[in-house]
A = this chain, B = another copy of it.
Amino acid sequence: MTRVPDPAHGRDLYREMLRIRRFEERCVELYSQTLIRGFLHLYVGEEAVAVGVLATLTGDDNVVATYREHGHALARGIPAGAIMAEMFGKVEGCSGGRGGSMHLFDATARFFGGNAIVGGGLPVAVGLALADRMQDRPAVTACFFGEGAVAEGEFHESLNLAAVWDLPVVFCCENNRYAMGTALERSESDTDLAAKAASYEMPAAVVDGMDVFAVEDAARAAVAAARDGGPQFLELQTYRFRAHSMYDPERYREKSEVDAWRARDPLTLCEQRLRELDAFDDVTRDRFEAEVAAEIDAAIAFAEAGTLEPVADLTRHVYRDTTT
């Protein structure tokens, strides 16, 4: 059990998770309507991770995420409309329609993507942290990746490099137990991921990733430690309730396993906790639902009203445009 949460802040965390949940549920509908295309990886079930970690960052910190990053983008404050417009392929999208669901970016929010190569974001995160240290900025870089990335060489090279140079990276491993259809037991000989971090002398914590308060506590400690010191590792134990992407028949896991994890839905856990503290009631929930629904409706309207980039601009953004 974690510390007693502040009621107002606890509700904020709940509301943020709800935004992500409802946003993604609408994405599924829009995908069936072919308004969103390409790959679409949902974060449903894992919301407590992004919300808990990102709550502990400042605006000067950096975020690096994966292709499963709607939640991180929303929690980082990228407007829902800009994200939705991106998935609609519109100029008003947060990546100008060039990136799509897997490549959400926002330079102002220091949100460095949306990387669709497993493990590919980790070296970049190390470099962002290096730049901060070399320029005496007190920022931290939060780098998210799945447990599947732990088998990739880039994971190890990056952890080691960050540790050798003592850089302020918080490596946030979202252990949802599967990399597509491959269970962690079949991808790692030792499933104790903190042991990998330990082999780089990197402090590590194993966290209940379904409990947003636990995540926030662990992240706050890790972020503080990184800010004044070197890299930190968080294993955030979570579960993806939905398919890997839109095309996954889920042959690799039992429905009972999914159900067991659904019983620990991060939204439900958070709500229960807040109700125990008399900090949450049906009125609050209904209000949140209404606000969130309105926000998402507006986001979709914004995306629909958005414009398509002229085809004549096809080869822009390959090299910096020096003509304008």
Which A residues are closer than 8 A to B by beta carbons? Answer: 151-157, 160, 163-164, 186-190, 192, 195-196, 198-202
Contact = CB atoms under 8 A, between A and B. Distances in A.
Max chain B Cβ within 10 angstroms of own Cβ: one of A153, A186, A192: A153
B153 A157 contact: yes
**Could you say how many copies of this chain the assembly holds?**
2
* Chain A binding surface SS class: helix
A189 B202 CA distance: 9
A303 B120 CA distance: 48
Contact of A164 (B188, B201, B202): B188
A294 to B, nearest CB: 47
A160 B129 CA distance: 28
Contacts of A153: 152-157
A93 to B, nearest CB: 33
Contacts of A160: 151, 188-189
A202 to B, nearest CB: 7
Nearest to A163: B189
A210 to B, nearest CB: 26
26 contacts: A151-B160, A152-B153, A152-B157, A153-B153, A153-B154, A153-B155, A153-B157, A155-B156, A160-B189, A163-B189, A163-B190, A164-B186, A164-B187, A164-B188, A164-B189, A188-B200, A189-B200, A189-B201, A190-B198, A190-B199, A190-B201, A192-B199, A195-B199, A196-B199, A198-B199, A199-B199
